[in-house]
Amino acid sequence: MEKLLLLLDRYYEEMVSIRRYLHANPELSFQEVHTPQYIANFHREIGLEVREGVGGRGVVATLRGAKPGKTVALRADFDALPIQEENDIPYKSKVDGVMHACGHDGHTATLLILAKALYEMREEISGNIVFIHQFAEEVLPGGAKPMIEDGCLDGVDVIFGTHLWAPTPLGEIHVKSGAIMAAPDMFEVTIHGKGGHGAEPHNAIDSIVLGAQYVSQLQTIISRRISPLKQAVITVGQFEAGKAYNIISEKATLKGTVRTLDEEVRNQIEKELESLLKAICDGANATYEFKYTRGYPAVVNHPDETAFLADIAKAISEVNQVKECEPLMVGEDFAYYLQKVPGTFFITGAKHPDWETAYPHHHPKFNFDERAMLIAAKTMGLATLSYLENRK
DSSP 146-196: HHHHTTTTTT--EEEEEEEEEEEETTEEEE-SEEEE-EEEEEEEEEE-B-E
Coil, strand, or helix at residue 239?
strand
CA distance linking residue 160 with residue 304, whole number of Å? 12
102 is in an annotated binding site: yes
C-alpha of 75 from chain center? 12
Angle formed at CA 259 by CA 256 and CA 264, multiple of 5 degrees = 120
CA 39 vs. chain centroid, Å, equals 20
From first CA to last CA, the distance across the chain in angstroms is 17
- Asked whether residue 363 is marked as a ligand-binding residue, the answer is no
Compute the distance between CA of residue 265 and CA of residue 301 in angstroms, rounded to an integer: 18
104 is in an annotated binding site: yes
Phi/psi of residue 329, each to 5°? -90, 10
- The DSSP symbol for 223 reads I
Q: Which of 137, 157, 305, 369 is catalytic?
A: 137
Any binding-site annotation on 138?
Answer: yes
163 is in an annotated binding site: yes
Clarify whether 79 is annotated catalytic.
Answer: yes
Which position among 79, 172, 272, 369 bears the catalytic label? 79
Task: Write out the binding residues.
Answer: 102, 104, 138, 163, 362
Q: Residues comprising the binding site for Mn(2+)?
A: 102, 104, 138, 163, 362
Indicate which residues carry an active-site annotation. Answer: 79, 137
